[in-house]
Structure 1
Amino acid sequence: MYQHQHPAAPLPNLQLPRTLNRPAFTEVQRDAILAVEPNLGQVPFEYIRKGLHARGEELMASINAAKVPPQLPRTRLPASFDIAPTHGTPPPTHILAVQSSPSSGRPVSDAVFLVPTHHIVLAAHCAHIPRLPVSRPQTRSSGAFAVPVMPLVVPHAEAFAPLHAFLVAHRLDRLMANLLPVPPAMLAATRTGGASAAAGPFAHVSAPQVATYLAASAAGDKMSALMALTRTVSAIWRNACALGVFDRDLWAALDFSWEVILGAMNMVATGAV
């Protein structure tokens, strides 16, 4: 475990949980994987995920190469997008039209976020996602692929992209860049003291040290800046819970970030920084 330190005093006028609750583990559905990749029927789930992680950069390159608008009104969503072929990478299988659920407590927006994806990534990582419709993008006479649009409702649509990128590429450093505005070197130091991978990816990191930096470097109204970070972490956490994502490194990143931000808020609230 990373070095853990509870805040010394309660935070004033803030209703924030001390920890992020983790739902009971649920494995992904074999039927969901079979629906999109029948040849993986006998392959263990963990082996499927490791294989996807090994191809993460290839799949991410395919996603980044797919030129679609970042947002569109729901009323203007087409049934598919034409995606130009790229050398050496398969096209995305779906364009997700991601919108926030009405239960998120905010007015329902007409805009949806468009995120290209590969169906096997979602099927192999998301235990609670509805069974995905099979997609075999058709080739147009122009050579482009017609990739279908699929609606997806999550608690916080604007926070889906960082979670999705992590599921595809499994790059913890990129995820942390979205969660904590600290120098990457603070989180990427070599493990010391005989810490093993089983101890978690932040076993070598001092949470109080990172919290001190975060509190000292927050610009403007420090508490407001830190509260904005809690909203980002909370939004990604809610999306992960809703989709049924139980990746160990993802949860370690969320837990560590939450502890660091609360520690920084306590330092600001008590005048320690």
Structure 2
Amino acid sequence: MRSSSSALGLLPSAAVLALTDKENATHVIELAGGNGSSSSSSSTVPSAGKRRRDEGLRINTERRRRRQEQLSRHGRKAPLQTEREWRRETTERDQSEPDVDTTPRQSFAAGSATVSFQRRLARPRDPLAVPLDILVHRHPHWQGLSLPAIKHALRARGPALAHALHATRASPISALPTILDALISEDLRADMPSHFFAVYSKTSQSRPTQARRTVTIFPAHDAVFQAYCAKLAPMPPAAAIPGPDTPLAADGRSIETTLPVVPLCLPSPRTFGLLQHYLYHNDPDALGASLLPALPATASESADRAQTIRDLAQQIAATHGPAKINEHVLQAHGLWSNIVVLGITDEGLWTALDFFWAVLMSALYLATLARPAEHIILGSSQPEPHPVSAVCGPGPAFSSVPTELSASSSCTESETDGNTSDSTALTTPPTSPLVSKASFDDDLMDTSC
């Protein structure tokens, strides 16, 4: 899978007009019925600048109306807004808008259906820098190294660290404490994980009264995540690596140690394993194998990036319907939400995600044209802001109230991600070092997430 280029521009002459349900924070691809006549011609939607001016005029008109109502209650008349004031407000608003898809959008009619898409996933306008001082304080042997040099060292050790994750087993649990016993192979003690992440989502908007939520436990190395995640709060100190004289566990092959549990609230817990796999392996091909639907054995690539996107999209659309492609769209969107919330700015990851998102959007467009009777729900255009503070916040009060949990590594998670109304079960790669899942009472959670 080629993902070395960075710019998008790539949907086949496709119609891309995002319809936003702001109340539920979802993007909806609507197949709106026409008046019975078919149209094969394309109509260009006004430019981004004109749309902003029209939106500014609408907003200012609404502001004047509300102000007039307020002043009329006090027996005064509101002054008219001058053109200079309107231009100043419009300029200030344009400068404060996030840099989200300013490319022209188009709308095309196919039979009696109108298909709408967004072209690209937004990147943070002012990304935070990774706190290098915290990283070096936790790992003094990196003193004097730059962040790129540290990432290079982590990439070299990534496969070995990932192997240690798969060799880690958590002890059976009936409650989620602040620390958790773990077993790790004796020969991997030098690469043993430093923490367990207890990954969970905020309360679902579609089911705000749900009493229980699912927590998934992942072993992790703090060095890897703190090197990539600018918004991840400092973790509690890790336990010391067991010495060579540490007695073996009952199986005679493992050593027992204790690792801190770090609560981590994310928009898409299901895609955390996919993100973790990339951070350890930096393998865009493996990422694409999880994000894209299965391709025919004859799938080929072109030296030209745009042509590769078109070829892959056509092969996917010919093999899978819109519903199947939409599952992968939701998975890619969930991964993007986690990346934004954690403050990951790795260019390789963003370039790969841009590429696969363009393939999925093109494939979904083509598949929807072939099946114009379907109605598809996409995830929200941007992750909600409150999970950002939850990443750095206290998270679940695991130790405050004794609670009986049903924990099992084979438990099936049925909840949806907090920021989407789709209920399709999405899976993480089989190589994801999942330890266990547990359902627990919602009143034990930090509801600010």
- Which bin holds the TM-score, normalised by the shorter protein? 0.7 to 0.9
* SS of structure 2 residue aligned to 1:59: helix
- 1:132 is the counterpart of 2:138: no
Unaligned 5+ segments in structure 2 are: 17-28, 32-114, 250-254, 373-449
Q: 1:39 aligns with which of 118, 136, 141?
A: 141
Who is 1:234 aligned against? 333
Who is 2:281 aligned against? 169
* Distance (Å, rounded) in 1 between the aligned partners of 2:312 and 2:336: 20
Q: 2:181 aligns with which of 59, 78, 81?
A: 81
- 1:95 is the counterpart of 2:182: no
Using the TM superposition, give the Cα deviation of residue 32 of structure 1 relative to its aligned residue in structure 2, in angstroms.
Answer: 2.5
* SS of structure 2 residue aligned to 1:256: helix
Who is 1:262 aligned against? 361
Using the TM superposition, give the Cα deviation of residue 106 of structure 1 relative to its aligned residue in structure 2, in angstroms.
Answer: 5.7
Matches within 5 A, 1:128-207: 128-137=231-240, 139=242, 141=247, 142=249, 143-183=255-295, 192=303, 203=305, 206-207=308-309
* Distance (Å, rounded) in 1 between the aligned partners of 2:231 and 2:238: 19
| 1:165-216: CA deviation from partner (whole Å, max 9, x where unpaired) | 1111212222111101244988996x848xxxxxxxxx48610100011111
TM-score w.r.t. the length of structure 1 is: 0.82
* Distance (Å, rounded) in 2 between the aligned partners of 1:7 and 1:81: 55
TM-score w.r.t. the length of structure 2 is: 0.52
* Distance (Å, rounded) in 1 between the aligned partners of 2:370 and 2:306: 27
Who is 1:21 aligned against? 122
Question: 2:201 corresponds to which letter in structure 1?
Answer: S
Specify whether residues 184 and 65 from structure 1 end up closer, same or farther in structure 2 by C-alpha distance, changes over 3 A only.
farther
* SS of structure 2 residue aligned to 1:22: coil
Using the TM superposition, give the Cα deviation of residue 133 of structure 1 relative to its aligned residue in structure 2, in angstroms.
Answer: 1.7
- 1:117 is the counterpart of 2:216: no
Who is 1:59 aligned against? 161
Using the TM superposition, give the Cα deviation of residue 85 of structure 1 relative to its aligned residue in structure 2, in angstroms.
Answer: 2.9
Specify whether residues 168 and 184 from structure 1 end up closer, same or farther in structure 2 by C-alpha distance, changes over 3 A only.
farther
Question: Do the aligned partners of 2:198 and 2:218 also contact (CA within 8 Å) in 1?
Answer: yes
Q: 1:4 aligns with which of 10, 13, 20?
A: 10
Specify whether residues 241 and 104 from structure 1 end up closer, same or farther in structure 2 by C-alpha distance, changes over 3 A only.
farther
* SS of structure 1 residue aligned to 2:169: coil
* Distance (Å, rounded) in 2 between the aligned partners of 1:188 and 1:147: 45
Specify whether residues 103 and 186 from structure 1 end up closer, same or farther in structure 2 by C-alpha distance, changes over 3 A only.
farther
Using the TM superposition, give the Cα deviation of residue 18 of structure 1 relative to its aligned residue in structure 2, in angstroms.
Answer: 1.9
Bigger relative contact order, structure 1 or 2, given CA contacts below 8 A and separation 6+? 1
Q: Percent identity?
A: 26
Using the TM superposition, give the Cα deviation of residue 98 of structure 1 relative to its aligned residue in structure 2, in angstroms.
Answer: 0.6
* SS of structure 2 residue aligned to 1:164: helix
Unaligned 5+ segments in structure 1 are: 194-202
Specify whether residues 237 and 105 from structure 1 end up closer, same or farther in structure 2 by C-alpha distance, changes over 3 A only.
farther
- 1:210 is the counterpart of 2:216: no
